[in-house]
Amino acid sequence: FYLKNCIQKIKMRTIFLKLISLLTLIINTHAESFKECKNAAEGTFVAVESNCLAYIYCLDEESFTDTCPVGTYFDAEQQQCLLDEDGTKCTTFMVQPTPAMEQQQVLTQQALTETTPTATTSTTAGGFPSTSTLSPRPQCKPTMDEYFPYQQRCEYYYRCTRGYLSILRCSLGYGWDFLQEKCMPLKEAQCFKALRAHVFSF
């Protein structure tokens, strides 16, 4: 009887220790919490006070922070990255960039300044794009809301809203599918650049 009682106590202690370990693991791996999200509605973007390029997407444990491409700034009212055409919107709140931020900005700047011209596209009856006039970026019509692919990088795309052009970026691991006009996992996305090379190469 004594041996049986000792074995039960050992089993109970083992179970208790496993539960404590599991709780510790859960607490330590809990997603990062952002103070900026405390008063924000779920599923919204909020600005990072100290960096006009940065924003936070607030969604409980899935909240994350990201930065807008160089040459843009995060507009909290419109909840998106907007072009900073005159270079005055994103100068006063910049913090000293980290090496990771600098590397991302260099890569983004290289992508944004590539000399390959973008093409205005329309879809043919067969579902494939046909190129027309070349332009450096889409021209927005004040009466239409439209999306356009960003030719150099699949994860970026343009959005025209009431005549204003914005460049946006899909979440990490996603790319802009220009036929469905939405962000899709990169392996599934029909990127404009990749499809154009496939369709038009002989």
Closest listed residue to residue 47, CA positions, set 60, 37, 56: 56
Q: Residue 127, Cα to own-chain centre: how many angstroms?
A: 27
pLDDT value of residue 32: 58
pLDDT value of residue 137: 73
Sign of the C-alpha dihedral computed for residues 191, 140, 111 and 121 taken in this order: positive
Burial of 59 (0-12, 13-18, 19+ CB in 10 A): middle
pLDDT value of residue 93: 45
Q: Is 71 left (phi over 0), alpha (psi -120 to 50) or beta?
A: left
pLDDT value of residue 87: 76
Beta strands in the chain (DSSP E): 44-48, 51-58, 64-67, 72-75, 80-83, 118-123, 129-135, 146-149, 156-161, 164-169, 174-177, 182-185
Residues of the chain with pLDDT under 50: 26-31, 92-96, 98, 100-101, 103-135, 194-202
143-193 residue pLDDT tens:
888 998 887 788 888 888 878 888 888 888 889 998 999 999 989 999 876
pLDDT value of residue 202: 35
pLDDT value of residue 177: 92
